[in-house]
Amino acid sequence: MEALPALEYSNLIGPALGMLVGVLMGLTGAGGGILSVPLLVFFLDLSVAQAAPIALCAVALASCIGAIMGLKSKTLRYKAAGFMAIFGLALSPLGLWIAPQIPNTPLQILFSLILLFVAVRLLMQARNDIMGIVEPLRKPPPCLVNPAAGKLTWTMPCARSLLFAGSLAGFLSGLLGVGGGFIIVPALKRYTDLPIQSIVATSLGVLAIITGGGALFSALSGNLNIALAAPFSIAALLGLLLGQLLGKKLGGSRIQLIFAIFTFLIAGSLLIKGLLALG
């Protein structure tokens, strides 16, 4: 009789958390999915290794929809996305395999530190946008768009940069259940001269392949809790659509600032919880 309330709790809280993550993804882009794991850890008392495959399912579903929209609008650079995703997909199973081998507390502390890094970077970006601070000029990136052909000019430095970013995103995607958008988007901004719409669409294309492959690998290896993942992912997709509608009425910089503060608070709480467990 004691298992029933816990089951009912997870059946209610799981979709509610998915809806919240989806709204954040709709408001902020794919980066909102990074909060899937800490929310699942806090409210459903899962380990990071248990929460990661569930988060991957939600990010994969949302990213697929975003990537399809990017293809239709011709903003997704599918060659660059495919190139990055190949290496990310190769390393994602490695991260998924390593995660259960690491004790939960160190993994939780690692995740919280990465989350803190993302939060601080988002806070700085939001502050610069609100205050109108322009980024300093930098040297031309290795991946440049050929104006005549309208396509990226592939060089060895360009391929090497995208290979590294895709590989790191894939490994962390499997290890921590993060989509990897917090790596892919800054990498494309740094290494290419693509417009922001194309960067976001291309990032979603990479994430759709990496997280989709990671979720499939988790399901085949028996590490995916389908009963939790299905309602969480579907709710996240509905939340994504709602978030996109809300995003049209709200200012982008203000949204990013609120999201950054929320992410910082979640990261701090997760770090404190991990350090207390370690002590």
Residue 3 has pLDDT above 50, yes or no: no
Q: What CA–CA distance (Å, rounded) separates 208 from 169?
A: 12
pLDDT tens, position by position, 110-158 = 888 988 888 888 888 777 777 777 666 678 889 988 888 778 889 999 9
Domain residue ranges of the chain, discontinuous segments joined by +? 13-278
Supply the pTM of this predicted model.
Answer: 0.81
Residue 261 has pLDDT above 50, yes or no: yes
CB within 8 Å of 141: residues ≥ 6 apart: 190, 191, 192, 193
* Dihedral angle computed from the Cα positions of residues 207, 212, 217 and 222, in that order, rounded to the nearest 10 degrees: 120
Rounded mean pLDDT of 103-107? 88
In the chain, % of residues over pLDDT 70: 89
What pLDDT score was predicted for residue 1? Answer: 38
Rounded mean pLDDT of 188-208? 86
Residue 183, Cβ density class (10 Å: 0-12 exposed, 13-18 middle, ≥19 buried) = buried
Q: What CA–CA distance (Å, rounded) separates 229 from 18?
A: 9
Cβ atoms of residues 267 and 98 within 8 Å: no
Rounded mean pLDDT of 169-197? 84
What pLDDT score was predicted for residue 9? Answer: 60
Cβ atoms of residues 56 and 88 within 8 Å: no
Cβ atoms of residues 211 and 173 within 8 Å: yes
Q: What CA–CA distance (Å, rounded) separates 177 from 179?
A: 6
Closest-CA residue to 204 (of 27, 58, 60)? 60
Residue 150, Cβ density class (10 Å: 0-12 exposed, 13-18 middle, ≥19 buried) = exposed
Which of the four pLDDT bands, split at 50, 70 and 90, describes residue 252? low
What pLDDT score was predicted for residue 83? Answer: 95
Q: Which two tokens stand for residue 151?
A: 């396509």
pLDDT tens, position by position, 77-87 = 989 999 999 99
Q: What is the SS3 assignment for 154?
A: coil
Q: Quote the mean pLDDT of the chain.
A: 83
Q: Which two tokens stand for residue 135?
A: 């980024």
- Report the Cα–Cα distance between both ends of the chain, in Å, rounded: 34
